[in-house]
Structures are given as structure tokens and as C-alpha cells.
Amino acid sequence: MPGFEQFGDEERTQVNDVLDSGILMRYGFDNLRNGHWKAKEFEQTFAHKMKADYCQLVSSGTAALTVALASAGIGAGDEVIMPTFTFVASFESILQIGAIPVLVDIDDTLTLDPEAVKAAITPKTKCVMPVHMCGSMADLRSLKAICEKHNLILLEDACQAIGGSFEGVPLGSYGDLGCFSFDFVKTITCGEGGAVVTNTKKFAENADRYQDHGHDHIGSDRGAETHPHLGYNYRISELHAAVGLGQLGKLEHFVSLQKRNYQILRETLLEIEGVSFRTVPEGGVENYSFLTFYLPTASAAENAHRALVEGGIDACFYWFSNNWHYVRGWEHLLEQKSLGKLPAEVKDRLKEVCQKDFSQSDAYMGRAISMLIKLNWDEETMRSRANTIKNILK
């Protein structure tokens, strides 16, 4: 990743179709489109690739999470369990609909610890949101069993893991709902965009309406459509969908390049004493967009990361000190720095949640380093990079 490394004729052809018609909006203007419906085509193709019955394109990965939660009827006062290691969009989407993000510890998968999830369930819990960070997945089998036992929604955030799978099912399609991001630094990019997939017809209908002001999309006259329920504007444009269509046809190629480069680096790091790797649950296949490894101590990892950066190794991340992706950097959430007033119920519960002890998460995150795997590194470049990394770590 990211897909923008390999823009080409595929994307240009799709975008030019839209520009030639002049219709940038995904709805209406039927007689001017020259038969081009890029968002609809993307949705159908993507649903097929993800082995899902339905797909709804939206304007971003954050929008996808928001729309997915709303489509499942989750709202004010409901609790959504999420991990301490994720992108800020996870709790932003939950707060957006008036629900409460309940942060819980991760385990050595760097995703939700099922035991921590069990301990966090209350009568107000409505959803468990595992986040498949850095191309690998949560223990979905265990999480699904928990959700089935407690009648909870399993919502997969697969924004960083497109192309991965669990037990033969594409990530994002294992739970009740799955969300993807197509922003500029994802494996498949639209520039900006996202998607919700599901096998539940009601959720799909709700998502279709919610992301477009509540329009029912029945008939061919947009102005005559009714509004079965409230909605907002999370639509994707035809231009963004067109770029995504061009990228989508190259997904398998992208993942194969990532896998080759990932394996070269992993095999090299195996030679270093003290290096161990993030646990991938049995039955899981990564999308190989990142290689994440552990060092024996947090101080060793912090020093190693500093040495790697000083040694010219780019695309190297020490998430423990990252403001965007780990709970230690979420001061605005922990201190409830909101431009608008948060509901009293959210404020009170959030204060309680954010005062929890996350030392288990610290123990894993403090020792972890992630290496982004780029598409444009050829095999020779990758081997040279891997040897440089090995020598610095030694």
C-alpha cells in the first residue's frame, strides 16, 4: 500500500468516462450519463469481491462506520466496544451518532482481546467493533461467539485490511457489517471514499437511505422520492467512485506485491535474536500491508525505532507514541474537548471509560514496531531495505 503508487490507464479511463458525460453526482441526470454509473458499478463489483450480498459506497471510512452503526439502529446512550489501538475515526463515528465508545485492551494480535470484551459488556452494550489494524485481524471466531451469546452486532472495521481474510471469508464480511476506507493512503484509493458491506437486507436498505438524506431511491424521479427516516449526506461522487473502480481491478495484484515484499522482510528479521511477530489468529490471512514485530522491551523498541529513522528507514511506525492511533495520544477524547456540548450520559460514561487501566495494551504497544509495505519496491530494493533494517536492529 498505498494504491496511489500505481495509478495508470485503468483509473484514467474510468475518470474520463465521468468527465465526458459531465455528471459528477451519483444520483439523477439519467439521460446525460451516457450509460455510466460508476458508484453503482463499484458497489456491485466490490460486493462480489468481498463475498457480500450488499455494498453501500460513502464519502470516507469514517462515514462508513457512522452509516454502519446507524443502519444497525445504534444511537443515543448505546455502548460500542472498541480497541485502544485504532484510528481516531473509530470513536468519532460512535460519538457522531450519540453512542458511547467503550475502550478495551488489546492482546498480542494488536486487536481486541476477547476476554477484555467479555468484561466490558453491560446492559447498554449494542455492538463490538474489532479494528483490523495494519492488515491483520482480530480473533473473529471468539468475538462472533461473544456477540451471538449476548445478541450484539459484530461490526468489522477493515479499513486497513482490504484483501485479507479469515476462515476463507474476506475481512469485513465475517461479521454483521464491515467497513472499508478508500482514502489516499489505503491499498485501494478513491482519493476519498469508503464502503459498508453486509448480508442483511435491512441494514443495506437503511445504509442506502441514511447516507443520502433519507431518500428511499424508489422510482426514477429524485424529486419525488420520499424519506422513510432521517439521514445525512455521506454520498460518494462519481469521480471518486471512478478512481476506485480502476483501482479495484488491481486489488489482487497489489496484495501479491505486498505479500512478496512482506515475506522478504519477515524472513530477514527472523535472523535477529529477540525479534518476535504479531500473532495472526488461526485461519487468518493478512493483506500484507504492514509487517509488525515485537522487541523484548519497550525501551528496546523505542531505541530501535529511533535508530531506524536516523538510519534512513522511512514508513516505520512506533504507535505507542503516535497521536492518531493509540489511546495515549487521544487527549481530546480523554479530556472531552468538544466544540459542541456532549450529552450528559455520554460525558459521564466516557469519563469512567477513559479512566480505566490500559497497562495490558501498553505492554504490547510499547514493544511493537510496524513497517509499511510499499507496492513500488521491486525485489532488489526490498532485499536491500531488509538487510539495512537487519543491520540497524542488530
Q: What is the mean pLDDT of each run of 10 residues along the chain (394 residues)?
A: 91 97 96 95 98 98 98 97 98 97 98 98 98 98 98 98 98 98 97 98 98 95 94 98 97 97 98 96 98 98 97 96 94 94 93 91 98 96 97 95
Residue 45 is predicted with a pLDDT of 98
Residue 387 is predicted with a pLDDT of 97
Contacts of 219 (CB under 8 A, 6+ apart): 225
Q: What is the DSSP string of 2-56?
A: -GGGG--HHHHHHHHHHHHHT--SSSS-GGGSTT--HHHHHHHHHHHHTT-SEEE
Burial of residue 35 (number of CB atoms within 10 Å: 0-12, 13-18, 19+): exposed
Q: Domain segments of the chain: what residues?
A: 3-250, 252-393
Cell of 235: 454520498
C-alpha closest to that of 67 among 38, 26, 87, 96: 96
Residue 353 is predicted with a pLDDT of 86
Q: Which of 186, 201, 202, 351 is catalytic?
A: 186
Task: Domain 3-250: give its CATH code.
Answer: 3.40.640.10
In CATH, the architecture of 252-393 is: Alpha-Beta Complex (3.90)
Residue 53 is predicted with a pLDDT of 98
Q: How many CA atoms lie within 13 A of 223 on its CB side?
A: 1
| Contact between residue 188 and residue 247 where contact means Cβ atoms under 8 Å apart | yes
Q: Is 51 a catalytic residue?
A: no
Residue 302 is predicted with a pLDDT of 97
Contacts of 173 (CB under 8 A, 6+ apart): 50, 51, 52, 156, 197, 199
| Contact between residue 6 and residue 376 where contact means Cβ atoms under 8 Å apart | yes
Grid cell 462519481 is found at 238
Residue 1 is predicted with a pLDDT of 77
Q: How many CA atoms lie within 13 A of 357 on its CB side?
A: 3
State the Cα angle at 57 between 52 and 60, rounded to 5°: 120
